[in-house]
Amino acid sequence: MTRFTHAIVRRPCRALTEGISSGLYPGKPDYELALRQHDAYISALRKCGVTVDILPADERYPDSCFVEDPAVLTGKCAIITNPGAPSRNGEKDEILSAVRKYYPEDRIEKIRFPGTLEGGDVMMTEDHFYVGRSERTNEEGIRQFREILRKYGMDCTEVPLTEVLHLKTGVNYLGDHTLLVSGEFSDKPVFSDFRKVAVPEEEAYGANCIRVNGTVIVPEGYPSVLSSIRALGYPVLTVDTSEFRKLDGGLSCLSLRF
């Protein structure tokens, strides 16, 4: 699995309480608690051996701490996405300045209207990308994404979504050809060649774990997910993300790892 040296995060802003929420996990985020949870998240990333670039809070965009959505960073290029949520679309310009520190201009690509795409819909496996077609990521966005990947010798497979916000809300790659899957992803033929670790319905949020340089970071409060991952023999760190969950945000959404 790709070894990561860096991660980019953005501090939650006070306007976080006005972020988009499906209402699946009720309540408004507690800002102070969200900041403490964000600190713990950064510590966990550092324990996994990555240097964390911490961008300042941006009050114009309530959801801007979910930095995974406005960019996709690969070993060969950076792709600035075009977030499908109107209140989030401007986040792409802000992430661009951060990405410029790490990628030369001729390796920075963009998804453009009428295409839309959010990074939460993009799952990278060893050498391939899976892209969810969702309410945020449309057909044209996927077509442009594929065209960009092919330019760099990579490719992707489209995965239509019916139930969840983003692809990685329900399926995440742990390395070793293993996927953590919940709900609609449990039996999708497109994933039939992978070893699958099933997440029970009542722990669906726990399907969004990230493996960073060998260690799996797991959200706190999902015992079945935790024991399944331990059973695979992976070292584990847990982080409480309760305040981000109220906005449908998971562990992966809070960073760009590259």
Residues engaged in binding ligand CIR (CB under 6 A): 19-20, 63, 66, 68-69, 85, 88, 120, 165-166, 168-169, 247-250, 253
Q: Which is nearer to ligand CIR, 52 or 85 (CB)?
A: 85
Please state the closest distance from residue 248 (CB atom) to ligand CIR, in A.
5
Q: Which is nearer to ligand CIR, 20 or 236 (CB)?
A: 20
Residue nearest to ligand CIR according to CB distances in the complex: 120
253 as an active site residue: the answer is: yes
8-state DSSP, 68: T
Backbone angles phi, psi at 247, to 5 degrees: -110, 20
- Sign, CA dihedral 241-243-248-252, equals negative
- 140 in helix, strand or coil? helix
Q: Which is nearer to ligand CIR, 27 or 235 (CB)?
A: 27
Closest CA to 72 of 115, 113, 126, 108: 108
> Facing residues of 132 across strands?
159
Q: Which is nearer to ligand CIR, 169 or 178 (CB)?
A: 169
Q: Which of 13, 48, 209, 253 is catalytic?
A: 253
48 as an active site residue: the answer is: no
Please state the closest distance from residue 45 (CB atom) to ligand CIR, in A.
16
Q: Which of 13, 77, 166, 209 is catalytic?
A: 166
Q: Which tokens is 179 given?
A: 């996927």
Q: How open is the CA angle 44-49-54, to the nearest 5 degrees? A: 65
Residues annotated as catalytic are 166, 253
